[in-house]
Structure 1
Amino acid sequence: MKIKHSILLPVFVIAGLKLVAQESAGKTVHLGLVTPISTQGRYARDISPAFALHILQGVNHDNKGASVAGLHTTLYGSNRGVMVSGLVNQVKGSNKGVAVAGLVNTSRNGRGLQLAGLHNQEAGNGFIQVAGLSNYSHYSLLQLAGLVNTSRHAGYQIAGLVNNAQTVKGIQLSGLINIADSSRYPIGILNFIKTGEKQLGLQVYDDVSAGIVLRTGSYKTYGIIGAGLARDKDQNSTVLQMETGLGYRIPLARGLRVNTEAVLLARTDVHNFIRHIESLRTLLGVKVTPAIELTVGPALYLTDQSDSELFSGHYIWKIKKRESVLLVAPGAVAGINIRL
C-alpha cells in the first residue's frame, strides 16, 4: 500500500504542475484565428498575455508585451507594449506603448505613440501621433499628419494642409492653414490666430508693380499671400503678379519693428507665359496708429532679368548657366497696411 502511494504521489504532483504550467502558458501566450477561435476562447477579453498573435482578429484585456493581428485588435484595458495590426487597433483604455495600424488607431488616452496609415484618434491626452491623413487628440506633444491635425492643446503640429487647435505651445507648421486661439509660431500661408494679427495692405515695388497683400499670423511669424499687376519688360505687357511667402517680426521699440520676409513671386499672362522670382526683403514697420502700419525697406531678387526702375542695369551677382543667366539684383518695397 505504501509502495502504491509512493508511486502515485509523484504522478499527481507532476500532472498538477503540468496543468498549472499549461494554464500559465495559456495566459501568457494568446494564439488565434478570430475571436473566440483562439487559445483563450471566450475568456480572452479578461486575460492580459505577454504575446498575442491573431491571423485575422483578436481581443484581450491588456497588452503587456507584443500583440500582432492581420486585421484588427481590440484591448478592453490598456496597451503597455507594442501593437501591430493590418487595419485597426482599438484600445478602450490608455495607450502607454506603441500602436501601429495600416488604417486607424483609437484609444481613450495615454502617453504613447500612435502610427497609422490614415487616422489616429485619442479622446483624451496623448503623446505622439503620426498619420497619413489626420490626427485628433485632446492634448498631444506632437501631431504629424499628411492632411489635418486637430487638438485642443498641442505642443507641436505639422500637417500637409491644415492644423487646428485651441492653444499651441510650440510650432504650428502646415502647407496651407493654421487655426488656433493662441499660437506663437504658426508657419503657413494662412494663419487664423485669435490672439494674433491680420493685415491687409497695398504694396508697391521698385519695378512699378503693385498689389494687395494679406499677412496673417502671430506677433512673431506670419504668412503672406497677395496678387496685383506688373509691367514685364520681356513680354512688354502688363501681367498678373502673385506672391506667397513667410515672415518673421523683430520688435525694436513701441510702434517700431522689422519685418523680414522670404517670398516667391510669379508673373503670368494666364495663357502661356509664367516667370518666377525669389525675393528676400527687410521692411521697417512704423505704426502711425494702432491699426495702420507703414512699411519700407530693401529687397534682394533672384531673377533672370532686372525690371527695376530704381536700380536699372544694376545687379549684385550674375550666375551663368549655359544659355541662361540668373541675377541677384537689388530692389525696394513700400506699403501701407491696415489691421483687420
Structure 2
Amino acid sequence: MRKLITSILLLAGLSAEAQNQIPGKIHFGLVYPLSTNGMRAPLDTNNFSINLIGGVSAAERGAAFAGLSNVVRNDVKGTMFAGFSNHVKRTVNGALFAGFANTYGGGKGPAFGGFANVASGDVKGAQFAGFANIAKEVNGTQVGGFINVAKNIKGAQFAGFTNVAKNVSVSQVAGFANAAKDVKGSQFAGFINIARKVKGVQVAGFMNIADSSDCPIGIINIIKHGEKSIGLTVDENQTTMLSFRSGGKILYGIIGAGYNFKNDDAVYAAEAGLGAHFFTSNRFRLNAELIASTLTDFEDGDYFKSSFRLMPALKLTSFLEIFAGPSLNFITTNTAEGEKLTKKYLKKWPGDWDEDFRGLYLGYTGGIHVKF
C-alpha cells in the first residue's frame, strides 16, 4: 500500500521533489498533470520524456515519447514520437514521428506523419505524410500521399494527387495535377500541369498550361507564348485528319479525328501524339512526329497504327504552312480490310486464331497548318 501511495503522489507531481525540479530533467507521466512535473509541466524543459497518454512541456532537448500526443509550448531540439500527434508551437531541430499528424512552426529536420504534416513557418528538411504536407518555405522535399502545399520549395514535391507551390526550384511530380507560379525545373503529372513560367520540361498525361514553356509534353498544351494550329492531313491510305497541334517553341502535342475514304467498314479515325520542331527559320522547319492512330467501325474490328513522320514544312505566311514527308508505320489489325489497306509491307507477321496481323511499311503524310 505504501508503494502504491508513493507512486500516485509521484505521478500527480505532488511530492516535494517534483516541486523543486530544475530545467533539463527526465520526465515520466500518464497524462498532464499526472506526471513527475505535475502542474509545472508546461513551464519545464526536459532532456527525456515518456508519457503513456500525453504530455505537455515548455521545451524538449532530447527524445520525447507519447502514446497519444506530445504538446510543446516552445521549441524542440531532438526527436519526438507519438502514436497520434505531435504539436510544437515554435521550431523543431530534429525529427517528428506521428501516427496521424505533426503540427509545428518549422525548423530543421524531417517530419513523418501518417496523415499530415503542417508547418506554419520554414522547413529545412523533408516532410512525409500519408495524405498532406503543408509548409511556408521548404528547403528539401515534400512527399504526400494526396497533396503537398508550399509557398516556395527549393527541392521536389511528390504527391499521389496534387502539388501546389508558388515557386519551385527542382520538380513537381503528381499523380493528377501540379500547380505553380514559376518552375525552375520540371513538372510531371498524370493529367495536368499549370504554371506561369517553366524553365524545364512539362510532362502531362493530358494537358499543360503555362505562359511560357518551350518543352511541354502532353496531348494538349495551352502555352500563351507558344504555338497552336489546326491542321488538315492526308496519308497514303486516304485517311484524312483534322488535328489540333499545341505546344512551345520545340515540343508540341497532337490530337485529331477524321475519316478513311478507302475502307468500307472501319472508316472513323482518331489520332494522338507528340511532335518536335527542328531547324526552324523564317521560311522553313522540319517537323518530326510520333503518332498513335486507329480506324474503327465501333463494332468488333480493330486497326491500330504507330507512325514516325518526318515532314519538311514551308511557311507561306506568318499563320499558314504546308508540309509533306515520309513515314514509317507499324500496324496491328484483326480484320482482312485492315490488312489489305496497305499493299506493300517491309515486313509482315500473319495472324492466326489467337494473334492479330502485324505489318511494317513505309508511307507518307501531307497537309496544311493554320496557326493562331
- Please report how far the alpha carbon of residue 127 of structure 1 lies from its aligned counterpart in structure 2 after TM superposition: 2.0
- Please report how far the alpha carbon of residue 49 of structure 1 lies from its aligned counterpart in structure 2 after TM superposition: 2.9
Structure 1 segment 174-193 matched on structure 2, within 5 A: 174-193=204-223
- Please report how far the alpha carbon of residue 65 of structure 1 lies from its aligned counterpart in structure 2 after TM superposition: 2.0
Other-structure match for 1:153: 182
Provide, for residues 206-229 of structure 1, a one-character-per-residue CA deviation record: whole Å limited to 9, x for no partner.
111211011000120000001000
Other-structure match for 1:314: 344
Is 1:32 the counterpart of 2:62? The answer is no
Structure 1 unmatched runs, 5+: 1-15
Q: Greater RCO between the two (CA within 8 Å, min separation 6)?
A: 1
Other-structure match for 1:339: 371
- Backbone CA RMSD of aligned residues: 2.1
Alpha-carbon separation, structure 1, partners of 2:147 and 2:24 = 42
Other-structure match for 2:226: 196
Q: Secondary structure at the match of 2:120?
A: strand
Provide, for residues 103-133 of structure 1, a one-character-per-residue CA deviation record: whole Å limited to 9, x for no partner.
0000001211100100000023442100000
Match of 2:259 among 221, 229, 243: 229
Is 1:272 the counterpart of 2:271? The answer is no
Q: Which moved more, 1:200-209 or 1:290-299?
A: 200-209
Alpha-carbon separation, structure 1, partners of 2:200 and 2:272 = 23
Q: With structure 1 as the length reference, what TM-score do the two structures score?
A: 0.86
| Matched-pair contact (CA < 8 Å) for 1:232–1:238 | no
Provide, for residues 296-322 of structure 1, a one-character-per-residue CA deviation record: whole Å limited to 9, x for no partner.
0001110145656xxx53222234566
Structure 1 segment 101-112 matched on structure 2, within 5 A: 101-112=129-140
Provide, for residues 223-264 of structure 1, a one-character-per-residue CA deviation record: whole Å limited to 9, x for no partner.
00010001465xx33510000000011025321011000000
TM-aligned CA distance change 1:105 to 1:229, over 3 Å: same
TM-aligned CA distance change 1:93 to 1:321, over 3 Å: same
Identity %: 29
TM-aligned CA distance change 1:45 to 1:272, over 3 Å: farther
Match of 1:52 among 80, 105, 108: 80
Is 1:242 the counterpart of 2:276? The answer is no
Alpha-carbon separation, structure 1, partners of 2:343 and 2:295 = 20
| Matched-pair contact (CA < 8 Å) for 1:147–1:159 | yes
Alpha-carbon separation, structure 2, partners of 1:144 and 1:17 = 50
Match of 2:286 among 255, 258, 273: 258
Q: Figure out how many residues of one structure are paired with residues of the other and give that number.
A: 313
Structure 2 unmatched runs, 5+: 1-19, 27-44, 49-59, 333-337
| Matched-pair contact (CA < 8 Å) for 2:238–2:262 | no
Match of 1:327 among 340, 346, 359: 359
TM-aligned CA distance change 1:63 to 1:126, over 3 Å: same
Q: What letter is aligned with 2:179?
A: T
- Please report how far the alpha carbon of residue 17 of structure 1 lies from its aligned counterpart in structure 2 after TM superposition: 11
